[in-house]
Amino acid sequence: MDFHRYAVYFTPPEGELASLGAAWLGWDCARRCAVAHPEVPGLPAPVAEITETPRKYGLHATIKPPFALAEGQGEAGLIGAFERFCAGEAAVTLAGLEIAALGRFLALVPVGDQGGLNGLAARAVAAFEPFRAPLTEAQLARRRAGGLTPAQDAHLLRWGYPYVMEEFRFHITLTGKRPKAELPVIKAALDARLGPIVPRPFQIDALSLVGEDRQGRFHVLHRHTLTA
């Protein structure tokens, strides 16, 4: 398959969270296929509408944001670097995850200390930078259109994405942007379905290298355990 961008994600291991999360979003990035949405009564809109924006990414948290390959770099070299990176990193344990509103969307976010996780993400951003093609002026303009702080703009120029390093916030997106009045109802439905199956503590013990196809859908290419 022809991929035009790559990224490093955390994706849940095979199991209830991965399967229920994929069904909620309608796309399983690990199995690389569409999944039927569950019937969830009482929601303010169909699940397909609520999850339209995050669907193509699959159930994930971004570690190294999507990037096009730099000139002279190839997928085989990226996979090799990814394997070496994972072999040199240790697993990170979080107290847990909870469903919370981030602005107008809902996501699973960490509970408790996040220092180890933030360090892992920062090292990943730097480690794969040699593979990232520079952003075009048009891409920079699109990112800046939403408004960035000076620190975020500096990260955009240095790393190709504004929300990295101290701006990084680990989150597993569950909805697109919704009217704020809808969020409590959607959160209650998600708490009932996902809340009981999210492990506590929650371990980040593997990362996934993913590719974006020409339709914008992300596919897991390789999942590697953190083995240091």
Number of H helices, E strands in the chain: 7, 11
Phi and psi dihedrals of 41, rounded to 5?
A: -70, 150
Q: Write the pLDDT tens digit of every residue in 50-90.
A: 999 999 999 999 999 999 999 999 999 999 999 999 999 99
Phi and psi dihedrals of 119, rounded to 5?
A: -65, -45
Distance (Å) of CA 146 to CA 56, 140, 142, 170: 21, 11, 8, 20
Please give the average per-residue pLDDT across 142-156, as a whole number: 95
DSSP lists the bridge partners of residue 8 as 64, 209
Per-residue pLDDT at 56? 98
The domains of the chain, with CATH numbers, are 5-225 (3.90.1140.10)
Q: Write the pLDDT tens digit of every residue in 17-57.
A: 999 999 999 999 999 999 999 999 999 999 999 999 999 99
Per-residue pLDDT at 228? 84
CA-closest candidate to residue 2, choices 55, 69, 52? 69
Report field, pTM of the whole predicted structure over 0.85 = yes
